[in-house]
Structure 1
Amino acid sequence: MVSLRQLEYLVAVADHGSFTRAAELLHVTQPALSHQMRILERSAGGPLLERLPRSVRLTPAGRAMLPHARAALADAYRAGCAARQASGLEQGELRLAAVYSVGLGVLPPVLRRWRQDHRDVQISLSEHRHTDELLAAMTEGAADLAVGPLPRRWNGPVWTLGVEEFVVVLPSDDPMGDGGALRVALSALADCKWVHYASGHGLAEVLDQACAEAGFRPVAAVRTEQTAAAPVLAAAGLGPALVPANMIPTAFDGLVLRPDPPVCRPLAAYTRPAPDPLTEAFVRILLETVRVLPEPLRARFGLGDDEPPG
């Protein structure tokens, strides 16, 4: 029978690519670790790890088992937390996952409200570049609740939070703002070099798709991994940037224009199929608190006059 300890060993070896390093971190001897791995491989019906001269890598069977191993360990951890909480030994921990832009623009007021009501609950926040990474974190049991773009497929509860709208950021003296314009057609910026996002970043896909619908492919002046850097670089004159409006600070001094037609994406929160009471409590506060774009910013950017695209 497969044990949690064996799954922990598999995850450690996979993460560090070395029996020696995994044994050090787990405080076991290398022969004991290797012995347990051989038992696990017999239970699995074949090799899970390929022993190379200087490293170790997963076989196809090992890659198939790894996400289930992570999920099993995460479930065991949550079970221990629930038992300790019921025994009065701790107040619990909530593991929250979000895409970068949500962590910057949507969650701060929610976390402030949560902190007021649940001071003794520890929050662990992991941030991800892409919707697929966020979904993988939930699938592997690395988080109790995810907040980000609406998932394409998920077998647990999903709550729609609203529509996230994007704006174009330019320097404050850019001619596009002459006459007090609030809107800009992306096609008018086709000849510009853009502040783009790094490969693998979810917002890189949003920008590429929006520009493709406008009839061009954006040329990058610079690519950034950090979502928060994009509007700053655009305001500094490196090129236009397409950013979620909810992450633009109220005192931002760049030129902010609404794409015409609007660029939007739905945001959602989703949990594992049987969320625990802490997760359910956070979802309630999230639904009560979150406004994808605060009213003062909506007025400033001229948002909200149109119905979201169907």
Structure 2
Amino acid sequence: MPTLRQLESFLTVVDEGSFTRAAGILGVSQPGLSQQIAALESELGTTLFSRLPRSVTLTPTGRALLPHARAAVDAAARGTTAARAVVGTDAGELRIATVYSTGLGVLPPVLTRWRAEHPDVTVRLLEHRTTETMTTAMQAGQADVAVGPTAPGWRGRVRVLGTEELVVLLPAEGPPDVRHHEIALERLADAAWVQYSPSHGLAEELDRAAREAGFRPRAAVRTEQTAMAPLLVEAGLGPALVPAGIVPTSFAGRIARPVPAITRELAATTGPDPDALTSRFVALLARRAVLMPPHVAQRLS
């Protein structure tokens, strides 16, 4: 009989149209994911996907399995929710989907408080490059709550946390001059930026803001890790656009607000009927989330 893990792997490949992207969302290696699908196909005695050079499509058998796989995974998720409601919120696992920049900036102090109040609850972080992949993980039932930029059209519950500012980090020395802690992005049109990998959500933010300012940002270096950006700026490699919440207290460079301002709404999203454990975490998050750290606000004042 197919396992729940095999069915979840199958559904993620279907939703992503790619083994590579599905493996990233599930947090497993691509060979490991392929083994799960191969085991499912062996159990059913037929192939489920037609492998194309850059994508995969469902075979007739795969299309027949699809609605039943979704029903089985959904039923398992509902069973987990019901069990948690019975046993209360003193133990268990809380699965949090988030984007890299939010996980780095907003969540750590909240999780410190959560851990103090719920020492027997294991927290599992599912970190994503973009809001789209984070939302896909939620739709697939892989997480209890998503914390990050608001997902458009989400059909569950949305608890808005506030508006997050993105700031420009610059090396301590060198042009351009920054006055009143603000800088127009077009003044950085000729700069080589500390950029992110093309699949990173912050790369899209910089590309969009630069396009509106009339230029295309040139990359000096690209990084996969959001936390690396301030370090690379400090090393003099160029400016970077980052959420205010990830700027370390020890950052030795300059910080400026871009003009016009670049902001994004952050929210906690859950399914239509979150269990007691998830609801308690969302309430704590709404009370404790800090979107503009005091040390950054002070330097921008």
Structure 1 gaps, min length 5: 25-29, 42-46, 303-310
Match of 1:136, as an amino acid? T
CA contact (8 A) 1:11 1:66 kept: no
CA contact (8 A) 2:98 2:125 kept: yes
* Percent identical residues: 49
Q: By how many angstroms is 1:35 displaced?
A: 6.6
Distance 2:243 2:63 in 1: 35
Give the alignment's TM-score, normalised by structure 1.
Answer: 0.79
Q: How does 1:231-310 map to 2 (within 5 A)?
A: 231-302=230-301
Paired residue for 1:37, among 40, 44, 60?
44
CA contact (8 A) 1:67 1:140 kept: no
With over 3 angstroms needed to count, the CA separation of the structure-2 counterparts of 1:87 and 1:202, relative to structure 1, is closer
Query: For residue 225 of structure 1, what is the aligned residue in structure 2?
Result: 224
CA contact (8 A) 1:171 1:255 kept: yes
Give the match's secondary structure for 1:231: helix
Give the match's secondary structure for 2:225: coil
Query: For residue 170 of structure 1, what is the aligned residue in structure 2?
Result: 170
Give the match's secondary structure for 2:281: helix
Matched, 1:100 2:107: no
Give the match's secondary structure for 2:176: helix
Q: By how many angstroms is 1:255 displaced?
A: 1.2
With over 3 angstroms needed to count, the CA separation of the structure-2 counterparts of 1:232 and 1:9, relative to structure 1, is closer
Query: For residue 149 of structure 1, what is the aligned residue in structure 2?
Result: 149
Structure 1 residues 200-209 or 249-258, which shifts more? Answer: 249-258
Match of 1:59, as an amino acid? L
Match of 2:143, as an amino acid? A
Task: Tell me the alpha carbon deviations over residues 107-148 of structure 1, each in whole angstroms, 9 at most, x when there is no partner.
Answer: 011101101111111100011000100000000011000011
Distance 1:23 1:267 in 2: 35
Distance 2:105 2:188 in 1: 25
Q: By how many angstroms is 1:276 displaced?
A: 0.6
Distance 2:184 2:50 in 1: 54
Structure 1 residues 57-66 or 205-214, which shifts more? Answer: 57-66
With over 3 angstroms needed to count, the CA separation of the structure-2 counterparts of 1:259 and 1:157, relative to structure 1, is same
Query: How many residue pairs are counted as aligned between the two chains?
Result: 280
Select the structure of larger CA radius of gyration: 1
Q: By how many angstroms is 1:80 displaced?
A: 4.3
Distance 2:5 2:130 in 1: 26
Distance 1:19 1:152 in 2: 29
Give the alignment's TM-score, normalised by structure 2.
Answer: 0.81
Task: Tell me the alpha carbon deviations over residues 125-173 of structure 1, each in whole angstroms, 9 at most, x when there is no partner.
Answer: 0110001000000000110000111111110000111111111111112
CA contact (8 A) 2:172 2:252 kept: yes
Give the match's secondary structure for 1:136: helix
Query: For residue 129 of structure 2, what is the aligned residue in structure 1?
Result: 129
With over 3 angstroms needed to count, the CA separation of the structure-2 counterparts of 1:246 and 1:37, relative to structure 1, is same
Give the match's secondary structure for 1:96: strand
Match of 1:37, as an amino acid? L
Distance 2:98 2:227 in 1: 14
